[in-house]
Amino acid sequence: MANEKKASLYFCAELNEYFIPKKEIDNGRFIRNPERPSRLKLVLDYIQERFQEIQPTEFSEEHILKVHSEKYFNYIVKKSQEVDEEYLPEVFFVDPIFDTGTPIRRETFSAAKRAVDVVLSATKYAVDNKTPTYALTRPPGHHAMTDFGGGYCYFNNVAIAAKFLEEKGMRIAILDLDFHHGNGTQDIFYKDPNVLYVSIHGDPKRFYPWFSGYETERGEGKAYGTNLNIPLPGNTDIEMYKEALKRAIQKIQDFKPDALMISLGTDTHVKDPVGKFSLLSQDFKKIGVLITSSLEIDYLVIVHEGGYNPKSNLSAVKNFLAGLFGD
C-alpha cells in the first residue's frame, strides 16, 4: 500500500509553532528572520505519512546543565521572562547571544527546552529499541556553545543528547552536514576524547560563523584528533562533496563509535536561500547511500538543524532518508 507506514525509521517531532522570531540584523539592516516553523512543515507532513511517531516526553533541565553553564542557562530563562516583544543583540560577542541574528522572545526558553526534549526522546528511543530515529524540531542547536547562543540556536540539542549517551558509557561520533560549521558542538566537546566531531561545511573564511570551522582545529589534550573540520568552497557540487564525505566516514570508521548522531542541515541544497552549496535534490540520496553503505553502527540518531526553503527541505529529506533506508 502506498500509504503504509514503514518502521525502518521512527521519528519524534515538535515544530514549536508558537515560537516565531521576527527579525535579525544582517550587514547593519533588519531583515526577516528565516528560522520559522513553516520551513519544516512540509517535512513533518511527509514523515508523519511515512514513518512511525514517538511522542516527546519531558526531561529534567539537568541534562541541559551538563552541557551549558548555569550562568548561560539562567540568562536564557530570565531574558525570556522579562522581554516585552523581541530582544536582539546589535554586536557580536558582547551578549551571551553572540550574534545579531538570534532574537529572544517570551517563548524562547520554552521552545528551546521543548526542542531538547524532542531530541532526548528520539535518542532514548534509539537506545532502548536499537532502531534509527529522526528528531525534527526547532529551534536548531549546533551553534550554541557552553556559554553562548547564536545562529538561531539557544541550547545545543545534539550535544545534550550526545552527553546523555556518553553517560551510558558510549563513544559517540557526530557528523554535522549543515552548511554552516557547528561551532557550538565543537566547543562543547573540544577536550572530550569520547566524542568525535566531524563537520563538512562552507569555508568560514567566507561563510558564517567565520571564527570557527578551520582545518587546524583538531581538539585539545587527550581529545586531539577527535575534531575534524572539512571546509568547502561556495558552489560545491556532489562530486566534491562526496570526496569530503568519504574522508569524514573514514574518520568515523577509525574512531569506532557506539552511536552516530547526524546533524542534518538541508541548507546545502542549491535552492536554499541561506546556504551556498550546489547540491541537487537527488544528491541527498547519494549522500544517504554512501553513509549507510559505509557505516555499521548500533545506534543512529538524525537531528534536523538548518534549511530555510520549505520545498527544498522536503526534497532533500525525502532523498536523504531514501538513500539511508531504501525507497
- List beta partners, residue 300: 260
What is the DSSP-derived secondary structure letter of residue 124?
Answer: H
Q: Which H helix or E strand runs over 12?
A: strand 6-14
Do 209 and 145 meet the contact criterion of CB atoms below 8 Å apart? no
For the chain, how many residues are written? Answer: 327
Do 229 and 179 meet the contact criterion of CB atoms below 8 Å apart? no
Residue 284 Cα distances to 192, 260, 268, 290, 310, angstroms? 31, 18, 9, 10, 16
- C-alpha cell belonging to residue 105: 522572545
CA angle centred on 246, ends 171 and 249, rounded to 5°: 5
Could you tell me which of 14, 55, 50 has the C-alpha nearest to residue 325?
50
β-strands 29-32, 23-26: how paired? Answer: antiparallel
β-strands 227-232, 195-202: how paired? Answer: parallel
Q: Render the burial of 188-199: b for 16+ CB within 10 Å, e for the rest.
A: bbbebbbbbbbb
Residue located via cell numbers 540568562: 75
Q: Known catalytic residues?
A: 143
